[in-house]
Amino acid sequence: MTSFRVARRYARAIITLAEEKNKLETVAADFERLRSLVKSSNDLELFILNPTIGKAKKREIFSELFSSLVDELTMRFILLLVSKGREPILLEIIDQYNAMVDEKAGIVRAEVYSFIEMNKKQAQQLQKQLEGYTGKTVSITYSLDRNLKGGFLARLGDTVFDASVRRQLEMLEEKFMSDGSITN
C-alpha cells in the first residue's frame, strides 16, 4: 500500500476521533505546530525517519518532546503511529488531515507566485476569480518568485494558471512560429 493511501487512512481515523471529541481545530493547530517543529529541526526529522531507533525509545522521546505542546488526543495519535511504525509518514498524514478538513469546510488551497508582491486590490480580484473557477472558498498562500520576471503563477491542486510574462512571451513566440504572424 502506498504511503499516500496509508496517510489518508490515518488522517481519516484522526478526523473521525477529533469530530467525536469536538477537537477538529485543536488537532489541526497541534498538527501545524508539529509540522513547524519537524521542518525547523533536521535532527528531529532524521530521528523520526530513523528505523534503527526502537519503538519504546521513540515513544519515550515523543512523549517528552510533545506531551506539553499538544492535546492529549493528538499525543495518543502520535504514540499510536509510533507503535505501528508509521511515524515516518507523519507529515503526509498532516497534509491529508488538512486537505480532508478543508474539503469538509468547502475550502480549496491555492499557491500564488509572483515577481512582486500583489497589492490588496489585485489579491482580492485574484481570489474572486479563483473562487469563481472552483465554486468554493479559496485560501491563498502568496510567495515571491524572481524567476517569473512579471505576472503571476497560481497553483490550485493539479491545475496551474500561468499568467507570467515569460509564459505570455512563449505563447506569442509559438503563435508567430506556427503561422508567421503576430496578429490574432
Between residues 151 and 38, which one has the greater pLDDT?
A: 38
> At how many degrees (to 10) do helices 90-105 and 72-83 cross?
130
**Domains of the chain listed by start with CATH number:** 3-103 (1.10.520.20), 107-179 (no CATH)
Between 37 and 183, residue with greater pLDDT? 37
All 3 cell numbers of residue 79? 504514540
- Rounded CA-CA distance 165/148 in Å is 7
pLDDT at 182: 55
Distance CA 70, CA 43 (A): 20
> CA-based Rg of the chain, rounded to a whole angstrom?
21
Verdict on whether the full-model pTM lies above 0.85:
no
pLDDT, one tens digit per residue, over 87-117 is 999 999 999 999 899 988 889 889 999 988 8
Quote the Cα angle for 164-167-170, to 5°: 150
Q: What is the pLDDT of residues 9-30, one digit of tens each?
A: 999 999 999 999 999 999 999 9
pLDDT at 181: 59
Q: What is the mean pLDDT of residues 70-94?
A: 96
